[in-house]
Structure 1
Amino acid sequence: MRDAGLRVTAHAGEAAGPDSVRAALDALHPDRIGHGVRAAEDPRLMERLADAGVTLEVALTSNVQTRAAASLREHPVRRLIGAGVAVSLNTDNPTPSATGVAAEYRRAATEVGLSAAELRRIARDSAAAAFTEAGRQTAAATGG
């Protein structure tokens, strides 16, 4: 796939835990992992994600609904960011989750407690992880 210029995303680390994230890294070498929040349970795995530049597509509301996170206040996104893991905020499935990206950013600030600097970093990580030419340019400009 990469030989054809395609980038890779995988779904892991929501229900199955950190081992599923590790398996996705080993088998697929993805650029992004949908969810991946259970990686926060393993410091070495977070280090690996950060070193590899893999972005986790975090969906705060969905993660609470699926019980991948106990609550928004206890969501592991802050641990991931603190470990240097690239994170983007997403909706997962906006209709059943009754949310949108703007609402996820509001929740990240008001209920998770992320700072303005952390939210700016997430926005930069999101832009760099986009599977577009603009995303490639952002990644190149930011060292991603």
Structure 2
Amino acid sequence: MKKLRNYDSAPGCSMEAALHIMGGKWKGVILYHLFKDGTLRFSELQRFLPSINQRLLTKQLRELEEDGLIIRQVYPVVPPKVEYSLSDEGRELNKLVLDLSIWGRNWLERRGLKTAVEEDIEELKKVLGDPK
């Protein structure tokens, strides 16, 4: 059964609407890298997300574009060049994405775990524009 992308009726609550948009396993990570690293080409996103296959990355990017969170810019050159950037609506998620990243970091540290790539949280706050 195909997942419904647009609501045929009103969602039950605002949280349901938000989770419907952000519900993909990789969507938050894609947004995180677009916040942190700016406009990225498809191949750059693939390098940041080595565990995702090309088909799923394409699907997640299409859904984010359809939902108005990212902008896909296609350049008419050979080989094809496609860049992804955040839309104004996508940039509104800046604080949410940063807070989730910090929460995830703290959760890992409480358990004595680390990420594969060391991140400087203070630098990340600066990059993502957190006023704290």
* TM-score normalized with structure 2 length: 0.29
Higher Cα radius of gyration: 2
* TM-score normalized with structure 1 length: 0.27
The answer to which structure, 1 or 2, has the higher relative contact order (CA under 8 A, 6+ apart) is 2
